[in-house]
Chains A and B, each alone.
Chain A
Amino acid sequence: MLDILLPILIFAALALAAIGAVRRIRLWRQGRPSPVPVLRGLAAVPRRYLVDLHHVVARDKVMSNTHVATAGGFVAAMGLAIVVHGLGLAEGILGWLLLAASATMFAGSLFVARRRRDPPARLSKGPWMRLPKSLMAFSLGIFVVTLPAVGVLPAGFSQGLGSWLVALVLAGVVAWGLAELVFGMTWGGPMKHAFAGALHLAFHRRPERFSTKGGEGNRSTGLKALDLEDDQAPLGVETPSDFTWNQLLGFDACVQCGRCEAVCPAFAAGQPLNPKKLIQDMVVGMAGGSDAHYTGSPYPSPERGDRPVGEHHGTPHGPIVAPASTKDGKALVDAETLWSCTTCRACVEECPMMIEHVDAIVDMRRHLTLEEGATPGKGAEVIDNLIATDNPGGFDPGGRLNWAADLELPLMADVERAEVLLWLGDGVFDMRNQRTLRALVKVLRAAGVDFAVLGNEERDSGDVARRLGDEATFQSLARRNIATLAQYRFDCVVTCDPHSFHVLKNEYGAFYPEGQESDYPVWHHSTFINQLIEAGRLRLAPGQAARVTYHDPCYLGRYNGEYEAPRAVLQALGVELVEMQRSGYRSRCCGGGGGAPVTDIPGKQRIPDMRMGDVRETQAEQVVVGCPQCTAMFEGVVPPAGDEEVAVKDIAEMVAAALDTTPEAPPAPRDASTAQTTEEVMS
């Protein structure tokens, strides 16, 4: 009885899965073309899964073991079941292996079930709640039907009248398992993540993120350039089919684990964004339909608590954001959702499926800004300022060095070459940041660094324009900055603005004229100061007995992996460093990135307030930052009544305050006459 049923079930499931796969692939292929190395990509899947993906999953030990047992058990069990039951080859060890595999999978599914007993809010419910049962059905079913094959149960087990019933029940259980796990994989059930996920790993749009045998993958955090050559081409992503096909594939790989939701600062602040829902909305749009079947946390809404699901709908070729002229103003996603993102990358960092949320959000913003002219809030004004004055505040570009009138900073235009090109950033127009810059200059001078600045030749790096979706203005700024940089000789660029740092380091490369390339390293000032300390070029007088905490700026940490240098500097200063609960790669955004303060989408609370709450929990007296945006955001926070103000200090200010100004111990023997002349000139 079972000998007949099982092969039928198994091969029917495989056939259905194949049909589903073709349909699913057709959905992805609606996207724009994006060439990938097919065979090399497929060959890389095991490594990308076992090394890179697991690196992320393993941050949650229990979950990662659960997944290894369940997924590993399933893959083995399915493969063996095809041989043992499908082809009827139960000889020798095979049957025993199948037993072992299904038992492992069953053990794993017990953990899945335990997690689903009282699931955290970030997990989706709905069909996902039946997944542990389906896993158990498959593993148990296969286990039991394999017992006679290895001779543990008498062969007569499935003969006779009463056993008919047993056989039917068993076949039913196995069929359920196969339905969920095999063809559910390609027909859109929870197991879809396995099929889409494997292919997503193979054809990822940023293959450089993955490690190879040769070495680590890189972060690959720079946004991809938008091609502006063809002046008839529509810009950015208007409809789901405007994404590249492998982006669509990536969205489909989402397992709705909600890790992104749990770390998203905009979601926590009650702004109408939930990265997980956004990805699911893209899946809805790609297949066509409404978001009514979504079973995770919805987008928060400052007025109504949550935005109800089921009101939004989309089609592959319909607009994602409703154009201003539509009646109810609803399509797949509201514009506010896209503008709430601070581009902090916390979601990308946490996503076990390596989905690129920020790329997708910026792609859609590009359409809104470049095609619709619908940058909200002060966005349009900032962009206009950037176009007219090369800085977001609309200040006179001839006044970039006014703050440093007394510092006599060497200008690149005069000296033409220097060890360090000090990139000042737009903080030159901000009185708070000017203090940081002065401190940094003091530190560089104390270390005897040969540096020069561009002065009025410097322009905004283009960071804000780019995150606001204005790729045209970004590229124009980038090209002009590159041309300026190309005139001078310097060993490296140092800046105290992580946004300029990121853009210069990771995003300018694509805009160098043919035959030229950036040939200089770019350092954040914390890294550079640390190098100076390590080289013994700075004399510090430790003794600031402060208790401080350090906030990792997103564009320094997650974007560029620099977590160590600022901490090393603090250690050299001898201050007591207490870490916030969310620090390092899990640092929570200050709310200042991605143009979020400019678009200013309302939420229930403000992101910087939440982050200062994190700071206060550590009971530190000072929070040390390394970014003008973070400084501005934190200083804008009003402490809760009765609480003391926590000082916000840039790391350069900390170092400048600790400089040892006592004269060098034994003065080097010098020509006495020179010393005297100097004194005379002074009077």
Chain B
Amino acid sequence: MQPESAMTPGLEVTVLVSIGRHPLTGRARRADQDARGVELARSLADAQVRLLHAGERDESSEAALRGYLGMGFTELSLLEQPEGADVLPALAEALDATSPHLVITGERAERGEGSGLLPYLLAERLGWPLVSGLAAVESVEDGVATLLQALPRGQRRRLKVRLPVIVTVDDAAPAPRQSAYGPARRGAFEATAGPVSVDDEWAAWHVQPARQRPKRLKIVKAASARDRFKAAAAKAEGGGGQVLTDVTPTQGAEAIFTLLREEDVLR
């Protein structure tokens, strides 16, 4: 340790990592966005990075979690939770106890509900600010982080946020490094039992693979390459449509029905 970094207390970062699911084969893996979060954390100078996962521990989830260890970690904290449990209280308690400066997580999980709500609920519970869609953490000085938020079409917004903060990353964050097999299998799980709250609602849900939705074809009438490029790069425009207020349910249903017919969704 160099003397100056010993003097400035290191930035404590916790990355929430979940178990991913390969889109084609459904195999468990490190979740892509969470892995990007880990990569982001690794790129921070002087940061003490801790990996935290709340969930079940079995063979396939362990293999997937080792994917994060292979990014250069010796241990991963594991809050053991039974299948179908709501991990929010356990995570909130663990974060409250360790009080890191920065919590990084992916935008949404690749399995389970995948609603993308967890970071928001967590921020609400802890009373911390939340910044979504992060592209980079530019600097952290005197308890204030300068963040670069990714907006659509490559735009970026610079934000200053007082720590502690929860940030989420999506595909705009740098791609995760390769997970190396050796460190991955040597890494240890630091398992603790957290409070368990059973998610009754989830238990009642029926989950089935989603069917791919057909994509709306963009019809471009362009004579030149320049027009085609402009059309491709143009913002998706709202336009059209109508706002119905104060209508009866039947009228509303009829309007929707007509639209679906126009769009050829119903024939």
A: residues with CB less than 8 A from B are 231-232, 234-235, 369-375, 379-380, 383-384, 387-389, 394-397, 470, 472-473
Contact = CB atoms under 8 A, between A and B. Distances in A.
B26 to A, nearest CB: 9
B29 A235 contact: no
Given A373-B177, A374-B180, A394-B24, 10 more contacts: A235-B182, A371-B181, A375-B178, A380-B178, A383-B178, A388-B24, A388-B27, A397-B24, A397-B25, A472-B181
B186 A389 contact: no
B158 interface: no
Contacts of B27: 387-388
A234 B186 CA distance: 10
Nearest to B24: A396
Contact of B182 (A371, A394, A396, A397): A371
User: Do most interface residues of chain A lie in helix, strand or loop, or is the interface mixed?
Assistant: helix
B178 A387 contact: no
Contacts, number: 53
A389 B25 contact: yes
A372 B186 contact: no
Give 10 nearest A-B pairs by CB, closest first.
A373-B180, A380-B178, A373-B178, A371-B182, A388-B22, A370-B181, A472-B181, A370-B182, A235-B182, A396-B24
22 contacts: A231-B186, A232-B186, A235-B182, A369-B178, A369-B180, A370-B182, A371-B183, A373-B72, A373-B177, A373-B178, A373-B180, A375-B178, A380-B177, A387-B27, A388-B25, A388-B29, A389-B22, A396-B25, A397-B24, A397-B25, A470-B181, A473-B181
A394 B22 CA distance: 10
A373 B24 contact: no
Nearest to A379: B178
Tell me the dominant secondary structure on chain B's binding face.
loop
B43 to A, nearest CB: 13
A553 B179 CA distance: 33
Nearest to A367: B182
A44 B63 CA distance: 48
A220 B230 CA distance: 60
Contacts of A388: 22, 24-25, 27, 29
B47 to A, nearest CB: 15
B25 A373 contact: no
Contacts of A375: 178
Interface residues on B, range: 10 to 19
Interface string B132-149: 000000000000000000
Interface in B65-93: 70-72
B125 interface: no
A466 B132 CA distance: 40
Nearest to A380: B178
Nearest to B29: A388
B185 interface: yes
A373 B178 CA distance: 5
A370 B29 contact: no
Contacts of A383: 178
A373 B22 contact: no
A394 B183 CA distance: 25
Interface string B172-194: 00000111111101100000000
A172 B256 CA distance: 108
A394 B24 CA distance: 9
Contacts of A231: 185-186
Interface string B10-38: 00000000000010110101000000000
A374 B29 contact: no
Nearest to A396: B24
Contacts of B29: 384, 387-388
B181 A235 contact: yes
Interface centre among B24, B71, B177 (most CB of A within 10 A): B24
Contacts of B24: 388-389, 394-397
Contacts of B185: 231
Contacts of B183: 371, 373
Contacts of A470: 181
A234 B25 contact: no
B179 A373 contact: yes
B186 A373 contact: no
